[in-house]
């Protein structure tokens, strides 16, 4: 980590930012993430770097840097194009740059420095992924989509788009795309059951390359060879493919790669036509490095851009009276001190990269964070300086890793025994179900409980402790990494803390796919919100649901959505409003309509409820604790 990254960014806002009980404390992590970089030379001989970005600006943008003049220009998407994450891009043989803002295909001409086209080739799709972007032999631009694995095309001459439909009706990730010289497309698909599909855009003929019996967890991989053939791998089996047919081969029989202009969102390097190399591109640090391979000289250039910052994904009330939180894409950790009104961006954890702390909890003087991706569980000692996991005494430090079983965490909990911390969430790509990790801060013991010993094929996404120390959890049937769900309804369950066994389970809201958020009230009752903003109350002693009602009028559900206040009332945040729930009669009152869309939460300090609105940290005066 560079020294500059260890220096906190401090933002002080005047008290005039308060309005109607709400205060906007500003952007917590004022950075953008690089979403793919290409190197090229325009028709005037200028060596350029084009970088896609992701942040919370109203309109998305790319950066174009001339490495010789050291000038950088920010080009916003055309008006009307939403700021959605780009996952794949292409520097075409025709000299133009193609990327996708969500479902919108964009064409940029580096010579004229302007957007020359935008459109939606497949309205049913949400984005275009991985390296599934390719020049076709017919001069068309092709791409593969998520979540229904459509193949689409764009004709740069006529500006017409085409949607050829799904290449695999069950899978969700179309990650690789290649053509042979005969004009057949080969699609690398996953993640639950890897597949390679051959498709002829001219005739509409589709052939599955991988036998059904050989389809396993993972993603099919394909590339174009220099011999006009295409090559691919599904599991351990390699194929040579031509005219829609495949021959099984050994890996060492696969031909060399033909040049491809496809760029995944994580690409940060490249080579210019004159041989110089883009060695390092860091949008959050606002700099790039170019190396001359002959002289070995490295030139560093600064990048100037405007950004609305990274999305906030989690908050917690720290033991020291501060609010702590995490952003995503990129992951930065931040702190807000209500006493001084100082909002500080403390920077990234390199190991987490573009992920985030999906959930935070406070245990004693510590804050724990459950991180995507990689299933990392971190411990930050608030009594010592944050150093981004650097040096001989990292703070935070890694406690455990539950990769695979909890790749996408959704909840963290400090057990009331004062020594255990827990995290839970979704499994990795292509899988269903999710485990629970338990870490003992006293003896350093780490325990993983898989979904098979919790609620099989479901994932725990909310977790609380009952007064007797037992756990109450809520599950989701979703499989966000491309797996195939089998369950129909989310479950509320009770786990015996001593035996770590599930001793009771029920469906609190029939038909609801997720038990989204839980909180335990002053009398041990469990208050919950399920899919569709359905509110319920569970009585642990009688094992009965004693109340249900819809709160959909207040909007959707940020994560987490419920918190018990110091006055023992239950407070709920929705995308459009803040609501107080009286714990005895279950009556609720809307406290206020939110001045911005509420996207994440949740902490209460000094009578103020803290939540996120995109990249901004907000708070609302509850009128308590004074």
Q: Dihedral sign, CA of 15, 562, 579, 585?
A: negative
- DSSP SS3 for 31: coil
Q: pLDDT for 150-196, tens place per residue?
A: 999 999 999 999 999 999 999 999 999 999 999 999 999 999 999 99
What pLDDT shows up at residue 20?
87
Burial class (CB within 10 angstroms; exposed 0-12, middle 13-18, buried 19+) of 378: buried
Q: In 190-199, which positions are buried (b, 16+ CB within 10 angstroms) versus exposed (e)? A: bbbbbbbbbb
pTM (2 decimals)?
A: 0.94
**Mean pLDDT computed over 249-276:** 95
CB 279 within 8 A of CB 40: no
Work out the pLDDT band at 9, boundaries 50, 70, 90.
Answer: very low
The token pair at 407 is 């790749």
In the predicted structure, residue 3 carries a pLDDT above the cut 90: no
Contacting residues for 526 by C-beta, under 8 A, at least 6 apart: 464, 466, 472, 492, 518, 519, 520, 537, 538, 539, 540
User: Which residue is associated with the tokens 């995944």?
Assistant: 264
N- to C-terminal Cα separation, the chain: 42
In the predicted structure, residue 418 carries a pLDDT above the cut 50: yes
**Mean pLDDT computed over 561-585:** 97
CA pair distance 571, 622, nearest whole angstrom: 9
CA pair distance 358, 332, nearest whole angstrom: 12
What pLDDT shows up at residue 379?
98
CB 91 within 8 A of CB 107: no
Which CATH number describes the domain made up of 508-626? 2.130.10.10
- pLDDT over 70 percentage in the chain: 97
CA pair distance 100, 98, nearest whole angstrom: 7
Phi, psi angle pair for 252, to nearest 5°: -75, -5
In the predicted structure, residue 380 carries a pLDDT above the cut 80: yes
What pLDDT shows up at residue 10?
41
CA pair distance 511, 470, nearest whole angstrom: 26
CA pair distance 295, 126, nearest whole angstrom: 45
Instruction: Please state the length of the chain.
Output: 626
CB 190 within 8 A of CB 220: yes
Same fold flag, 121-264 and 508-626: yes
Query: Peptide bond preceding 602: is omega within 30 degrees of 0, i.e. cis?
Result: yes
CB 485 within 8 A of CB 431: no
**Mean pLDDT computed over 559-579:** 97
Neighbouring-strand partners of residue 450? none
CA pair distance 514, 506, nearest whole angstrom: 12
In the predicted structure, residue 6 carries a pLDDT above the cut 50: no
**Mean pLDDT computed over 599-606:** 97
CA pair distance 287, 307, nearest whole angstrom: 15
User: What residue spans define the domains of the chain?
Assistant: 121-264, 508-626
Topology of domain 121-264 in CATH is: Methylamine Dehydrogenase; Chain H (2.130.10)
């Amino acid at each position: 980590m560079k020294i500059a990254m260890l220096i906190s960014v401090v933002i002080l806002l005047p008290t005039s930012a308060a309005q109607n009980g709400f205060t906007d404390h500003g952007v917590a992590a004022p950075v953008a993430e690089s979403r793919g970089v290409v190197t090229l030379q325009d028709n005037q001989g200028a060596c350029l770097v084009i970088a896609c970005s992701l942040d919370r600006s109203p309109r998305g943008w790319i950066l174009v840097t001339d490495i010789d003049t050291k000038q950088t220009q920010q080009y916003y998407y055309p008006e009307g194009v939403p700021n959605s994450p780009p996952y794949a891009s292409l520097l075409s043989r025709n000299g133009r740059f193609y990327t996708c803002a969500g479902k919108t295909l964009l064409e940029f001409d580096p010579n004229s420095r302007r957007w020359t086209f935008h459109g939606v080739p497949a309205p049913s799709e949400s984005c275009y992924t991985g390296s599934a972007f390719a020049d076709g032999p017919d001069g068309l631009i092709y791409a593969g989509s998520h979540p229904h694995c459509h193949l689409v095309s764009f004709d740069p001459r006529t500006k017409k788009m085409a949607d050829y439909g799904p290449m695999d009706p069950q899978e969700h990730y179309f990650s690789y795309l290649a053509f042979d010289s005969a004009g057949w497309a080969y699609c690398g698909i996953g993640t639950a059951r890897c597949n390679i599909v051959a498709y002829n855009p001219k005739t509409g003929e589709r052939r599955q390359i991988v036998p059904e019996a050989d389809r396993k967890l993972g993603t099919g991989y394909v590339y174009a060879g220099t011999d006009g053939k295409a090559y691919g791998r599904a599991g351990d089996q390699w194929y040579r493919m031509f005219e829609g047919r495949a021959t099984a081969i050994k890996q060492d029989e696969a031909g060399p790669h033909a040049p491809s202009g496809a760029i995944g969102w994580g690409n940060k390097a490249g080579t210019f036509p004159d041989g110089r190399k883009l060695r390092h591109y860091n949008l959050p640090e606002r700099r790039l490095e170019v190396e001359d391979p002959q002289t070995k000289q490295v030139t560093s250039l600064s990048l100037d851009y405007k950004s609305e910052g990274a999305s906030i994904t989690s908050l917690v009330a720290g033991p020291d009276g501060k609010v702590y939180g995490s952003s995503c894409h990129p992951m930065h950790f931040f702190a807000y001190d209500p006493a001084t009104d100082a909002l500080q961006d403390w920077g990234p954890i390199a190991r987490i990269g573009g992920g985030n702390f999906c959930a935070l909890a406070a245990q004693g003087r510590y804050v724990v964070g459950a991180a995507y991706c990689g299933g990392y569980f971190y411990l930050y000692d608030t009594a010592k300086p944050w150093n981004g996991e650097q040096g001989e005494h990292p703070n935070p430090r890694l406690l455990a890793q539950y990769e695979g079983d909890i790749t996408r965490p959704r909840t963290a909990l400090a057990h009331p025994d004062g020594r255990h911390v827990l995290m839970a969430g979704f499994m990795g790509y292509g899988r269903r179900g999710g485990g629970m990790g338990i870490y003992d801060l006293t003896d350093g013991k780490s325990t993983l409980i898989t979904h098979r010993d919790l609620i099989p094929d479901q994932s725990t996404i909310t977790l609380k402790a009952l007064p007797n120390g037992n756990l109450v959890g809520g599950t989701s049937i979703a499989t966000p990494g491309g797996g195939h769900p089998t369950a129909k309804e989310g479950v509320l369950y009770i786990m015996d803390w001593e035996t770590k066994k599930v001793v009771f389970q029920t469906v609190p809201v029939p038909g609801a796919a997720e038990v989204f958020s839980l909180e335990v009230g002053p009398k041990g009752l469990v208050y919950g919100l399920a899919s569709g903003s359905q509110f319920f109350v569970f009585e642990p002693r009688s094992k009965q649901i004693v109340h249900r009602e819809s709160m959909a009028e207040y909007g959707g559900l940020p994560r987490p959505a419920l918190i018990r206040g110091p006055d023992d009332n239950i407070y709920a945040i929705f995308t459009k409003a803040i609501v107080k729930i009286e714990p005895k009669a279950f009556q609720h009152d809307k406290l206020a309509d939110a001045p911005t869309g509420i996207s994440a939460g949740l902490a209460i300090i000094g009578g103020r409820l803290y939540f996120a609105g995109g990249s901004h940290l907000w708070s609302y005066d509850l009128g308590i604790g004074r």
